[in-house]
Amino acid sequence: MRLIDDKGAQLGIMPASDALRIAEERELDLIEVAPSAQPPVCRIMDYGKHKYQQAKREREARKKSKATEVRLMRMKPQIGPHDLGIKLRKLRELLGEGNKVRVSVRFRGREMSKPELGRNLMQRVASELADIAQVEGFPRQEGRMMSMMVAPKPGAKVPAPRTKQEATKPEATKEEATTHVKEQVKPEPAKDPQPVEERPTEVKDAEDGGEAG
């Protein structure tokens, strides 16, 4: 067999017994790496370390080749401004995670006669997300559903979503953001006590029969 040592050096062609002896002297393993070659190729290595490195490379390869997940976002044709804002923030979060998102609009009842509502909504969504997303195909209607696919734009940076505390914290006004001066309540000066007007006590005449002392 042809032997390669743990440093990658060619040790030449030798009997299997000699190759095994060299591997034992180096306290390593003798692994056959090319059994179909003529002559077969064996290598001296630490097999445990080799398996660990191989598994690590496979894990990294799986991470890089991870398939992009397609998420679904449903809306109503006549969605309100507040609900649309919530949907747009969620879309930004999903796109920031690297997902594609299928945005769909479902028509109900008489809404089927107004497909322009769905198209206008799709155009607005695409416009609002133009900085981070690209539309893969124009909106397409199938029955009561109209949908379009949006995907992360290459190289676009998506800001991290706000935490729950940041989302619930009220925004400061322009005046508060520039001054931050607390009002100090000045105590009112003490007022001089008002003089009490003394009224003379009315003395009634003694009843008849009384004598003056």
- Hey, what amino acid is at 173? T
Name residues of the chain where pLDDT drops below 70. 63-68, 156-213
**Is residue 183 in a domain?**
no
Residue partners of 16: CB distance under 8 A and separation at least 6: 1, 42
Q: Please check whether residues 77 and 119 belong to one and the same domain.
A: yes
pLDDT at 212: 44
| Structural domain harbouring 37 | 2-48
Domain count, the chain: 2
Residue where a domain terminates, one of 104, 126, 152: 152
pLDDT at 1: 87
Block residue for tokens 């032997």 = 3
Report the CATH number at residue 38: 3.10.20.80
H-run or E-run covering 121: helix 115-128
Rounded-to-integer distance, Cα 175 and Cα 115, Å: 45
Q: Please check whether residues 76 and 41 belong to one and the same domain.
A: no
* 29-34, strands of its sheet edge to edge: 10-13, 2-4, 41-45, 29-34
Report the CATH number at residue 82: 3.30.110.10
pLDDT at 96: 87
Q: Please check whether residues 77 and 25 belong to one and the same domain.
A: no
Contact 131, 157 (CB under 8 A): no
**Is residue 158 in a domain?**
no
pLDDT at 88: 93
**Is residue 209 in a domain?**
no
**Is residue 75 in a domain?**
yes
pLDDT at 195: 53
pLDDT at 175: 47
Q: Please check whether residues 143 and 78 belong to one and the same domain.
A: yes
**Is residue 13 in a domain?**
yes
Q: Please check whether residues 18 and 79 belong to one and the same domain.
A: no
3-class SS at 14?
Answer: coil
| The pTM of the whole model exceeds 0.75 | no
pLDDT at 90: 93
CA 145 to chain centre: 28
